[in-house]
Chain A
Amino acid sequence: MKSDIILSGVGGQGILSIAAVIGQAAVSAGLHMKQSEVHGMSQRGGDVQSHLRISDKEVFSDLVPHGGADMILSVEPMESLRYLPWLSKQGWIITNSQPFINIPNYPDQKAVIAEIEKQPKHIIINADELAKAAGNSRGMNMVMAGAASLFIDIPQEKMEGAIQFLFGRKGEEIVKSNIAAFRAGREFAQKKRG
């Protein structure tokens, strides 16, 4: 198997917690993994991305090659479009529908969604709302991880095990509510994919 993912968002939105969950699950499933991230100036409200590469063979490049991503997983809709040059023809865009507007020239929100809908394979989720409905108002990232998990060939229990592993020291309540958000995202993606 191989899963090349571009995670995208805005500095401060916490895309790295998604990378941590999927990456940890990959490692516990005995897969090769490389994950590169952005540190420094862009973390101050700029566009940020993380390249997450999972494979049953050796992974060479730390960067996903152009046209090679199986998925763009974005916590912000406009940011999902920035990385289209990396998306393969069969790749999925999975994005949160909720914009993060910290620039004066943020485009028309409907136009952004229309551009995403032009892509043959996409899932647009109001992850903020789903997280809230799952009783975890800060669980947007876990909703997105759950939606993505449907398209990554790693068993669900390994993914949830990763959440347990990563959040265990913060207490059982946090683990539970993160898993609830994760499942909400996964179920939503399941329905959308059909």
Chain B
Amino acid sequence: MAKNVMMLMGDEAIAQGAIDAGVSGFYAYPGTPSTEIMEYAQHSKDAAALNIHRQWSANEKTAMESALGMSYCGKRAMVSMKHVGLNVAADPFVNSGVTGANGGIIVVAADDPAMHSSQNEQDSRILAQFALLPIFEPANQQEAYDMAFAGYELSEKYKTPVMLRITTRLAHSRAGVELKPRLKQNALKLPENKRQFVLLPGIARKQYKTLIANQAKFVEESEKSPFNRYIDGADKSRGIIACGIAYNYLMENYPNGCPHPVLKLCQYPAPKKLIEKLVKETKEVLVLEDGQPMLEESLRGLLDRDVKVKGRITGELPRDGELNPLFVRRALGMADICGAPAPAIVAARPPAFCVGCGHIDAYNAIKQVVTTGYEDGHVFADIGCYTLAALPPFEVVNSCVDMGASITMAKGAADAGLFPACAVIGDSTFCHSGMTGLLDCVIENSNVVIFILDNSATAMTGGQDSHALGRLQAICKGLGVDEKHIRIVNPLKKNHDEMVQVIKEEIEYKGVSVIIPTRECIQTLGKKNKKGGE
């Protein structure tokens, strides 16, 4: 029989892997480069037939907690997020190490070195290490698929959540993946130890000791993992540790095989014996990691003795940014191969609002008001398409830090005496992390004007459904915003004067105002129209 091969992106391979490894629930909030895991599960006919849960959560924290609840019942869960999403989920994530799992849990963290679509390039492996959890880091799409199986197996063997860490490049690159026979979902089975998930101090202390005791076993698993391979080489002048996708960049530069001993490292905690062997047999060790120099740092140690370690810290590789074949080539001491430089006339082409986007009309009104008559007017923005108003031609946005920070930074600024203090946040981001900040404003009746740009979608990541749909006004009212100061406007060019008037009125009101420009994202609208027309 022909092999069952599918062309899948890394994200899709992970989702298909989870489906085939008997997952019962996917949980996620959209975030590049992790979004396509949930989207794939949502479009999968298999997942539908198997009645697998696959709906978006309000944020990464609620996603992680729901996954933990699924695990509590003995079933397998997958929770996926981008790296900064893991910060939002950090509370339940770290504590899940202490509760442990009942049904297997895989936490997928998709990191974005080079910040293609992110605010930082933190390395999620460090958070998993902090939480004392095992990590899988696939080098290719096939491993991404296979690691769903290996991940649940390890998770259930030690009753521990595991992390599956990928980076942008693998998330969004396609290759052939050979599928395995499908495993059944677990039946509902509650924890044998009724106190396992009760983290009262007395219980948590005991559980934490178990987690610590498991560390040696996790290392043992890494030593014998099929994903960690020691590939010997005759030239011992250098040994190379290639983590995850970095292995590909190494091999790209040695089409006939690497002459040096190589440790392909794709499962952590780091396999100590394999690394010892490499260090003993070679004169120096080059560490290739797509992310922060986590392994390099731990090999070097605080006192920097004995072992000659090279990598990002020593400058063989750039300290920040994404790896690629050229950077690895340089680290290996080979001469550059490069085409001609791009001619000087090539202009930068930054992303911009789509033609016809409602944000354009909203910002035209906001800009007119805050830059005429209010010289100190500042606009604290948030994470989403509307951050693009920081760029020309608008240049009206003064901050973009993390999900929800617009409202709370505006509040802090108002506390400090800034007037007017405006916040701009999208409908989905508001439901993710803005509501609690708005409650802070209401409690103190802070003098802020909050724009919730409602385009009925999580637009930046491709137009996923927003939890806010049809609920924004009710949420604001429920949180205690005075109904008279919840203003709905329709952001169209023809309504410009009306919007300007509303904004002026609300700025002059000394208290919490919420202005909601409401018009659907033209991308999602276009998709719907296309569908309807077919």
B-side contacts of A84, CB under 8 Å: 339-343
CA distance A67 to B253 in the complex (A): 12
B-side contacts of A24, CB under 8 Å: 7
Q: Does chain B have a CB within 8 A of A35?
A: yes
Indicate if the CB atoms of B117 and A40 lie closer than 8 Å.
yes
Report which of B252, B324, B343, B346 forms a contact with A60, defined as CB distance below 8 A. B252
Indicate if the CB atoms of A45 and B33 lie closer than 8 Å.
no
The stretch of A75-83, A126-134, A143-151 that contacts the partner chain: A75-83
Indicate if the CB atoms of A61 and B249 lie closer than 8 Å.
yes
A-side contacts of B392, CB under 8 Å: 104
Report which of B174, B175, B248, B339 forms a contact with A91, defined as CB distance below 8 A. B339
A-side contacts of B388, CB under 8 Å: 44
Q: Does chain B have a CB within 8 A of A1?
A: no
Indicate if the CB atoms of B347 and A41 lie closer than 8 Å.
no
- The 0/1 profile, CB within 8 Å of A marked 1, for residues 515-534 of chain B is 00000000000000000001
Indicate if the CB atoms of A41 and B32 lie closer than 8 Å.
yes
Indicate if the CB atoms of A23 and B7 lie closer than 8 Å.
yes
B348–chain A nearest beta-carbon distance, Å: 8
Indicate if the CB atoms of A41 and B172 lie closer than 8 Å.
no
A-side contacts of B348, CB under 8 Å: 47, 103
B-side contacts of A142, CB under 8 Å: none
A-side contacts of B352, CB under 8 Å: 44-46, 102
CA distance A107 to B462 in the complex (A): 30
- The 0/1 profile, CB within 8 Å of B marked 1, for residues 65-101 of chain A is 1111100000000110111111111010000000000
Name, among B249, B326, B347, B351, the residue most crowded by chain A CB atoms within 10 Å (CB to CB): B351
**Minimal Cβ-Cβ distance residue in A for B254:** A60
Interface size class of chain B, counting residues whose CB lies under 8 Å from the partner chain: 35 or more
Indicate if the CB atoms of B169 and A43 lie closer than 8 Å.
no
Indicate if the CB atoms of A67 and B337 lie closer than 8 Å.
yes
Chain A 33-50 residues near chain B, CB threshold 8 A: 33-47
Interface of B (DSSP majority class):
loop
- The 0/1 profile, CB within 8 Å of B marked 1, for residues 13-57 of chain A is 000000000011001000011111111111111110001000000
CA distance A10 to B352 in the complex (A): 11
**Minimal Cβ-Cβ distance residue in A for B82:** A40
- Given A63-B324, A85-B338, CB of A33 within 8 Å of CB of B349: no
Q: Does chain A have a CB within 8 A of B116?
A: yes
A-side contacts of B337, CB under 8 Å: 65-68
Q: Does chain A have a CB within 8 A of B385?
A: yes
Indicate if the CB atoms of B175 and A34 lie closer than 8 Å.
yes
Indicate if the CB atoms of B175 and A45 lie closer than 8 Å.
no
Q: Does chain B have a CB within 8 A of A161?
A: no
Indicate if the CB atoms of A78 and B346 lie closer than 8 Å.
yes
A-side contacts of B251, CB under 8 Å: 60-61
Indicate if the CB atoms of A46 and B351 lie closer than 8 Å.
yes
Q: Does chain A have a CB within 8 A of B394?
A: no
A-side contacts of B247, CB under 8 Å: 60
Indicate if the CB atoms of B32 and A40 lie closer than 8 Å.
yes
Indicate if the CB atoms of B349 and A107 lie closer than 8 Å.
no
Chain B 428-463 residues near chain A, CB threshold 8 A: 460-462
Indicate if the CB atoms of A66 and B338 lie closer than 8 Å.
yes
Q: Does chain A have a CB within 8 A of B173?
A: yes
Q: Does chain A have a CB within 8 A of B245?
A: yes
Q: Does chain A have a CB within 8 A of B176?
A: yes
A-side contacts of B173, CB under 8 Å: 34-37, 51, 62
CA distance A69 to B175 in the complex (A): 18
- Given A37-B172, A62-B170, CB of A46 within 8 Å of CB of B33: no
CA distance A44 to B36 in the complex (A): 17
Name, among B251, B324, B336, B339, the residue most crowded by chain A CB atoms within 10 Å (CB to CB): B339
CA distance A84 to B339 in the complex (A): 6
Indicate if the CB atoms of A61 and B32 lie closer than 8 Å.
no
Report which of A11, A38, A89, A91 forms a contact with B172, defined as CB distance below 8 A. A38
Indicate if the CB atoms of A61 and B349 lie closer than 8 Å.
no
Indicate if the CB atoms of A42 and B351 lie closer than 8 Å.
yes
B-side contacts of A103, CB under 8 Å: 347-350
Q: Does chain A have a CB within 8 A of B345?
A: yes
Indicate if the CB atoms of B116 and A63 lie closer than 8 Å.
no
B246–chain A nearest beta-carbon distance, Å: 10
Indicate if the CB atoms of B169 and A36 lie closer than 8 Å.
yes
**Minimal Cβ-Cβ distance residue in A for B245:** A62
CA distance A41 to B346 in the complex (A): 20
CA distance A60 to B170 in the complex (A): 12
Name, among B248, B338, B340, B349, the residue most crowded by chain A CB atoms within 10 Å (CB to CB): B349
Indicate if the CB atoms of A38 and B116 lie closer than 8 Å.
yes
B-side contacts of A66, CB under 8 Å: 324-326, 336-339
- The 0/1 profile, CB within 8 Å of A marked 1, for residues 293-334 of chain B is 000000000000000000000000000000011100100000
Q: Does chain A have a CB within 8 A of B35?
A: yes
CA distance A48 to B426 in the complex (A): 25
B-side contacts of A59, CB under 8 Å: 175
Name, among A41, A78, A79, A85, the residue most crowded by chain B CB atoms within 10 Å (CB to CB): A41
Indicate if the CB atoms of A82 and B342 lie closer than 8 Å.
yes
A-side contacts of B353, CB under 8 Å: 44-45
Name, among A23, A27, A63, A115, the residue most crowded by chain B CB atoms within 10 Å (CB to CB): A63
- Given A41-B460, A61-B248, CB of A33 within 8 Å of CB of B342: no
B141–chain A nearest beta-carbon distance, Å: 8
A-side contacts of B341, CB under 8 Å: 84-85
Indicate if the CB atoms of B325 and A63 lie closer than 8 Å.
yes
CA distance A36 to B326 in the complex (A): 17
CA distance A102 to B462 in the complex (A): 21
Which residues of A does B touch, CB under 8 Å?
10-12, 23-24, 27, 32-47, 51, 59-63, 65-69, 78-79, 81-89, 91, 102-108, 111-112, 115, 119, 170
Instruction: List 15 extra interface pairs beyond A42-B116, A108-B345, CB under 8 A.
Output: A36-B172, A37-B172, A40-B116, A45-B354, A47-B349, A59-B175, A60-B248, A60-B249, A62-B170, A65-B337, A68-B337, A85-B340, A85-B342, A105-B347, A115-B343
Pairs A–B under 8 Å by Cβ, sample size 14: A33-B175, A37-B173, A39-B36, A41-B117, A43-B351, A60-B251, A65-B252, A66-B339, A84-B339, A87-B339, A89-B339, A107-B347, A111-B345, A170-B534
